[in-house]
């Protein structure tokens, strides 16, 4: 098991939804920020690995398990731990606890290192991951199979200026915003996500229009983000009545 890193976080007003819960995409943004903060604390910030290795971290998949979402104004503790890695993938867990130490949310995330010039996945350098003290494994941990959606409804979105990050890429959290925005308002008011599997396949480009595609089967929703004939992201969510 790897080196843990913790921070306290209070859910702000502007990131709380109509159910008084944190907006789920925000939790993913905060998690990635904390992973980055840990890297900086170990002397392995993004600038350093770009300069020394010409590599950038890219998240490829999340599995989010929710007991209950943190609520508006609630102070939570967010812990992250680099769990293991193999030749190409690094696995990291995030755990969100309430003030009584009860676990609210668990996020299991898969990262790869991409070569900045070739845009291809690069082998994980041993000296780069050593300070995290995570376990080297041979096994590749796989998420669920995301089947192509065949009877989906499509909704068009335009990529906006404020969707972009400092590198000109679409923020990871936007994909989930597009996915959930197509759900019916009354459904979102009455149901809460319990488990989300989310896979990033191919980056959306600025200036593109994207389709947010939805298939809903009772308490399971299946999502695709597509643009220019490609699948950019896929997700499966299990919901529960509030």
Q: Which of 115, 177, 203, 215 binds a copy of itself (CB under 8 A)?
A: 177
Looking at the Cβ atoms of 142 and 161, the one nearer to a copy of itself is 161
By the rule CB under 8 A, 14 interacts with a copy of itself: yes
Q: Which of 165, 202, 228, 242 binds a copy of itself (CB under 8 A)?
A: 165
In the complex, least distance from residue 14 CB atom to a copy of itself, rounded to whole angstroms? 4
By the rule CB under 8 A, 16 interacts with a copy of itself: yes
- Rounded to 5°, the CA angle 40-41-47 comes to 15
Q: Which residue has the tokens 């400092």?
A: 166
In the complex, least distance from residue 23 CB atom to a copy of itself, rounded to whole angstroms? 6
By the rule CB under 8 A, 180 interacts with a copy of itself: yes
Give the x/- contact pattern for a copy of itself in 33-72, rule: CB under 8 A: x--x-----------------------------------x
By the rule CB under 8 A, 8 interacts with a copy of itself: no
Looking at the Cβ atoms of 16 and 226, the one nearer to a copy of itself is 16
By the rule CB under 8 A, 207 interacts with a copy of itself: yes
By the rule CB under 8 A, 160 interacts with a copy of itself: yes
Q: Which of 181, 190, 202, 240 binds a copy of itself (CB under 8 A)?
A: 181
- The pair phi, psi for residue 128, each rounded to 5°, is -75, -35
The per-residue DSSP string of 62-115 comes to EEEEESS--BTT-EEEEEEEEEEE-SS-EEEEEEEE-TTS-EEEEEEEEEEEEE
Contacts of 215 (CB under 8 A, 6+ apart): 149, 150, 151, 152, 153, 221, 222
Looking at the Cβ atoms of 84 and 225, the one nearer to a copy of itself is 225
Beta partners for residue 199, in sequence order: 61, 234
> Sign of torsion, CA 51 52 54 57?
negative
DSSP structure class, residue 53 = H
DSSP structure class, residue 132 = G
Task: Give the end-to-end CA distance of the chain in Å, rounded to a whole number.
Answer: 35
Interstrand relation of 135-136 and 75-85 (parallel, antiparallel or unpaired): parallel
In the complex, which residues of this chain contact a copy of itself (CB under 8 A)? 12-14, 16-18, 20, 23, 25, 29-30, 32-33, 36, 72, 160-162, 164-168, 171, 173, 177, 180-181, 183, 185, 188, 206-207
């Amino acid at each position: 098991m790897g080196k843990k890193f913790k921070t306290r976080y209070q859910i702000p007003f502007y990131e709380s939804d109509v159910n008084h819960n944190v907006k789920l995409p925000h939790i993913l943004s905060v998690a990635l920020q904390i992973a980055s903060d840990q890297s900086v604390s170990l002397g392995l910030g993004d600038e350093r690995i770009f300069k020394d290795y010409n590599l950038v971290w890219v998240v490829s998949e999340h599995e989010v398990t929710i007991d209950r979402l943190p609520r508006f104004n609630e102070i939570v503790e967010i812990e992250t731990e680099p769990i293991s890695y193999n030749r190409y993938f690094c696995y990291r867990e995030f755990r969100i606890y309430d003030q009584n130490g009860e676990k609210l949310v668990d996020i299991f995330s898969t990262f790869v290192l991409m070569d900045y010039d070739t845009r291809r996945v690069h082998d994980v350098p041993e000296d780069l991951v050593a300070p995290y003290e995570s376990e080297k494994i041979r096994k590749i941990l796989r998420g669920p199979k995301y089947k192509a959606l065949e009877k989906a409804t499509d909704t068009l979105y335009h990529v906006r200026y404020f969707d972009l990050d400092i590198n000109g890429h679409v923020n990871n959290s936007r994909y989930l915003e597009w996915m959930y925005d197509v759900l019916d308002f009354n459904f979102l008011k009455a149901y809460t996500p319990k488990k989300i599997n989310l896979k990033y396949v191919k980056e959306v480009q600025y200036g593109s229009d994207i389709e947010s595609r939805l298939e809903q089967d009772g308490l399971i929703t299946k999502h695709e983000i597509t643009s220019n004939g490609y699948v950019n992201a896929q997700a499966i969510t299990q919901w529960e009545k509030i």
